[in-house]
Amino acid sequence: MANMAFRATSQPVFHQKNLRPEQQELQGRKLIRCDVVFGSPSLGCRGTGVCKITAHQSNHNVGKRQDCESTVAFLSAGENGQSVSLTLLREFLCINILRNHLRHNTLEMKEPCKLPSGFVTALGLQIDTLRPGTYPVEEVNGCYRIHFK
């Protein structure tokens, strides 16, 4: 029997036997669990934007909030690998992340953020960097989704 990992919509995400623990599927889309650190790379991960995205470090803290600079998220490909979506679970977000980074339902990125090469390969992405820009933040069923092109 599959184990439920999280609920992003009315359909639960299940661990698939053929995927590594950090990879999951939702409605046929592969998701990779990751850690997101907010801020600007040139400011030592202070400021606004996405500073870095890394492989999720532990299965033990999935149900716990991290700190006020980072959170657990899920990365997925879109548009045949030409875009990527980042899904953040509201219950894991510190209020400071909401106020400082997702204010007014937008994420402002002043600097690019390189995606880990393993994620690019696993998701079949044609992009390897989140580009600077202002991105809308969509709130859906207790999650925030940011779509990067």
pLDDT at 1: 33
Confidence at 135, pLDDT banded by 50, 70, 90: very high
* Mean pLDDT, residues 4-25 taken together: 40
**Measured between alpha carbons, how far is 61 from 67 in angstroms, rounded to an integer?**
12
**Euclidean distance between the first and final Cα of the chain, in Å?**
36
User: pLDDT tens digits, residue range 52-106?
Assistant: 999 887 654 444 444 688 999 999 999 999 999 999 999 989 998 998 899 899 9
pLDDT computed for residue 57 by the predictor: 73
Distance CA 85, CA 70 (A): 17
- Over the Cα atoms of the chain, what is R_g? 14
The residue extents of the domains of the chain are 4-148
- The H or E element containing residue 54 is strand 46-55
Least confident of 24-33, 47-56, 110-119: 24-33
